[in-house]
């Protein structure tokens, strides 16, 4: 199981293995030592206790093994995501999974509209992580390749119909396109409601639909009211 969790003082050893010189050379910094690890964990605990919280420094654990750190920085006009993985855990999809989970926190729970990320141009694996997670490249700035992402709709979308209870359909995105943007979704909402849902489930035309957006990467969900997207012609509520 892959999860993001808060760090604890017991994570110092694991942190040293994550921030080894093999990984930190892409971050323009030295490997971490034991004293820095203790400070890092103290600072992470302090930021977790802040209200409102402006920095999330979360551990990426795979079956209980802490293999990386994923951060969300909210102490700037546009929030930013960053991450680092233990070198022996690279190329197994863990960073991408961690970034997707922190995006679920950012866009879902925190309701942020916009998130950025960057990496050194000599670190193509990091660019690949960002693209797989749904970021769009925006060029280069200050020697970094830069990326942006605006509020997406996660790949699994459930459509419910109210007030007629009991109808629900899950619509899967494609593997190579895990997120659908709001603009993309606007174009297809009519079709989703009229064809996939109403025809497949025989939902009465008069029932006003509600799009319920489920987060496949975490427990976060939000609901859009029927008025947020057009009803098919003649299906007045
Ligand atoms: C960058 C980093 C986070 C990637 O973590 P990871 O868990 O290996 O990432 P994932 O497995 O989710 O994805 C890696 C992708 O990069 C690809 N990749 C690996 N090396 C690559 C290279 N040299 N060139 C291009 N793509 C590469 C992998 O094939 C994979 O893509 P795929 O799924 O399409 O095959 C990790 O290498 C790391 O921590 N590096 C050091 C610190 C760092 O760079 N942090 C980010 C700073 S912006």
> Could you report how far apart the first and last alpha carbons of the chain are, in Å?
43
Q: Ligand 1 center to residue 157 CA distance, Å?
A: 28
Do the bridges between strand 79-85 and strand 114-119 make them parallel or antiparallel, or are there none, so unpaired?
parallel
Average pLDDT over the chain reads 73
- Any idea which fold 2-150 has? Aminopeptidase (3.40.630)
User: Which sequence spans correspond to the domains of the chain?
Assistant: 2-150, 153-228
> How many residues in the chain?
237
Task: Determine contact, residues 199/235, Cβ cutoff 8 Å.
Answer: no
Q: What is the pTM of this model?
A: 0.72
* Mutation probe of ligand 1 site: the residue of 91, 119, 143, 145 with most atoms within 8 A of C-beta: 91
Q: Ligand 1 center to residue 101 CA distance, Å?
A: 16
Q: Ligand 1 center to residue 95 CA distance, Å?
A: 7
Q: Ligand 1 center to residue 13 CA distance, Å?
A: 23
Where b means 16+ CB within 10 Å and e means fewer, 107-122 reads bbebebeebbbbbeee
For residues 207 and 226, give the distance between their C-alpha atoms in angstroms, rounded to a whole number.
10
Cα three-residue angle 6-9-14, rounded to 5 degrees: 80
In this structure, the residue with its CA closest to atom 43 of ligand 1 is: 84
Dump pLDDT digits (tens) for 24-60.
999 989 999 999 999 999 999 999 999 989 999 999 9
Dump pLDDT digits (tens) for 79-106.
999 999 999 999 999 999 999 889 878 8
For residues 54 and 4, give the distance between their C-alpha atoms in angstroms, rounded to a whole number.
17
Ligand 1 pocket, CB under 6 A? 23, 26-27, 83-85, 90-96, 119, 123-126, 128-129
Dump pLDDT digits (tens) for 187-220.
333 333 333 444 444 445 554 444 444 443 333 3
- The ligand 1 atom at the shortest distance from the C-alpha of residue 123 is 44
């Amino acid at each position: 199981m892959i999860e993001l969790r808060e760090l604890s003082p017991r994570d110092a050893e694991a942190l040293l293995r994550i921030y080894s010189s093999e990984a930190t050379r892409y971050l323009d910094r030295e490997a971490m030592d034991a004293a820095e690890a203790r400070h890092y964990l103290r600072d992470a605990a302090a930021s977790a206790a802040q209200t409102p919280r402006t920095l999330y420094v979360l551990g990426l654990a795979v079956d209980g093994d802490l293999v990386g750190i994923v951060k969300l920085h909210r102490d700037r006009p546009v929030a930013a995501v960053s991450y680092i993985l233990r070198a022996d855990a690279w190329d197994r999809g863990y960073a991408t999974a961690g970034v997707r989970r922190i995006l679920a926190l950012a866009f879902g729970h925190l309701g942020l509209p916009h998130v950025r990320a960057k990496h050194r141009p000599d670190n193509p694996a990091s660019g690949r992580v960002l693209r797989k997670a749904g970021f769009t490249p925006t060029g280069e700035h200050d020697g970094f390749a830069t990326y942006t992402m605006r509020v997406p709709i996660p790949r699994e979308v459930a459509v419910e119909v109210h007030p007629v209870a009991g109808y629900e359909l899950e619509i899967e995105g494609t593997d190579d396109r895990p997120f659908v943007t709001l603009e993309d979704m606007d174009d297809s909402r009519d079709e989703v409601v009229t064809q996939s849902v109403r025809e497949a489930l025989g939902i009465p035309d008069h029932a006003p639909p509600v799009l319920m957006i489920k987060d496949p990467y975490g427990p976060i969900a939000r609901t859009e009211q029927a008025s947020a997207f057009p009803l098919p012609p003649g299906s007045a509520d």
